Chain A
Amino acid sequence: MIGLLILPAALLIILIFGTPLIRYIWLSFHASSVITGLVPIANKGANWQRLINDQRFWQDSFQTFRFAALSVSLELFIALAIALLLNQKWRGRNLVRAITLLPWALPTTVMALGWRWIFNTPYGPIELIVNLIGLDQFNILSNPNTAWLATVLGDVWKTTPFIALILLAGLQTIPQDLYEAFKLEGGSNKEALFKITIPMLKPYILLSILFRLAQAFGVFDLIQVMTGGGPAGSTESLAIYAYLNAMRFLDFGYSSTIMIGSFILIVFSSIFSIYLFNKFKNIQGYSR
Chain B
Amino acid sequence: MTLILKNIGRRYGKSWVLRNLFLEIKDGECLALLGPSGCGKSTTLRLIAGLDIPDEGSIYINGRDLKNVSPSKRNIGMVFQSYALFPHLSIASNLTIGLKVRGATESEQHQKVSSILTLMKLEDLAYRKPAQLSGGQRQRVALARALLRDPEVYLLDEPMSNLDAQLRESLRPEIRSLILQGQKPVVYVTHDQQEAMAMANKIAVMQKGNVEQIGTPNELYNSPASIFVASFIGRPQINLLPPESGIIKGIRPEDIIINENGINSKIIYQEWLGSSKLIMLDTPIGELRMITSSNDQIPECPKISWDIKNEHRFELTTHKRLN
By a beta-carbon cutoff of 8 Å, the part of chain A in contact with chain B is 175, 177-178, 180-188, 191, 195-196, 199-200, 202, 282-288
Decide yes or no: A186 and B72 within 8 Å by CB, A181-B78, A195-B97 being known contacts. yes
Given contacts A183-B51, A185-B149, contact A178 B98 (CB under 8 A): no
Please, which residues of chain A bring their CB within 8 A of the CB of B101? 182, 185-188, 191, 195
Q: A175 — nearest CB in chain B belongs to which residue?
A: B82
- Whether A177 contacts B87 in the complex (CB less than 8 A), given A186-B98, A186-B101, comes out as no
Question: How close is A166's CB to chain B, nearest CB, in angstroms?
Answer: 18
- The CA-CA distance from A187 to B76 in the complex, in Å, is 13
- Min CB distance A178 to B, Å, is 5
B162 is an interface residue with CB less than 8 A from chain A? yes
Is B129 an interface residue when CB atoms closer than 8 A count as contact?
yes
In the complex formed, the residue of B with least CB distance to A287 is: B131
A180 touches B132 (CB 8 A): no
Can you list 12 A-B pairs with a CB-CB distance of less than 8 A? A177-B82, A182-B101, A183-B70, A184-B49, A184-B51, A185-B98, A185-B101, A185-B102, A188-B72, A195-B97, A196-B88, A200-B88
State whether A199 and B51 are in contact (beta carbons under 8 Å apart), knowing that A180-B80, A186-B98, A186-B102 are contacts in the complex: no
- Tell me whether B215 is interfacial, beta carbon within 8 Å: no
Which chain A residues lie closer than 8 Å to B88 at the CB level? 196, 199-200, 202, 283
Which of chain B's residues 137-185 have a Cβ closer than 8 Å to chain A? 145, 149, 162
For A196, the chain B residues whose CB sits under 8 A away are 86, 88
Q: Are the C-beta atoms of A187 and B86 separated by less than 8 Å?
A: no
Question: Contacts A195-B97, A285-B87 given: A180-B82 contact, CB under 8 Å?
Answer: no
Q: 18 extra interchain contacts, Cβ-Cβ under 8 A, other than A181-B80, A284-B87?
A: A177-B82, A178-B86, A181-B84, A181-B145, A182-B101, A183-B51, A184-B51, A184-B76, A185-B97, A186-B72, A195-B97, A196-B88, A199-B88, A202-B88, A283-B88, A285-B131, A286-B131, A288-B83
Residues of A within 8 A of B89 (CB): 199
Among B84, B87, B130, B162, contact of A180 (Cβ-Cβ < 8 Å) = B84
Q: Is B6 an interface residue (CB 8 A)?
A: no
Q: Which residue of B lies closest to A179 (CB)?
A: B84
In the complex, number of A-B residue pairs with CB atoms less than 8 Å apart: 80
Which residues 58-105 of B have a CB within 8 angstroms of A?
70-74, 76-78, 80, 82-84, 86-89, 97-98, 101-102
Check if A200 sits within 8 Å of B87, measured CB to CB. yes
CB distance from A276 to the nearest CB of B (A): 16
Of B49, B72, B84, B87, the contact of A283 (CB 8 Å cutoff) = B87
CA distance in complex: A202, B88 (Å): 10
Residues of A within 8 A of B73 (CB): 186
B102 contacts which chain A residues (CB < 8 A)?
Answer: 185-186
Question: A185 and B51: CB pair below 8 A?
Answer: no
Q: Are B84 and A178 in contact (CB under 8 A)?
A: yes
Q: Answer whether A184 and B78 are a contact pair too, CB < 8 Å, given A284-B129, A286-B87.
A: yes
Q: How far is the CA of A283 from the CA of B88 in the complex (A)?
A: 6
Closest CB-CB distance, A179 to chain B, in whole Å?
A: 9
**Residues of A contacting B72 in the complex (Cβ-Cβ under 8 angstroms):** 183-188
Chain B CB within 10 A, most for which of A185, A186, A187, A284 = A185
Say whether B98 contacts A177, CB under 8 Å. no
- In the complex, A195 Cα to B132 Cα: how many Å? 20
A286 to B51, CA, bound (A): 21
Smallest Cβ-Cβ distance to B95: which chain A residue: A185
Chain B residue numbers with a CB within 8 Å of A188 are: 72, 101
How far in angstroms is the closest Cβ of chain B from A280? 9
Give the distance to chain B from A225, nearest Cβ to Cβ, in Å.
42
In the complex, what residue of chain B is closest to A283 when comparing beta carbons? B88
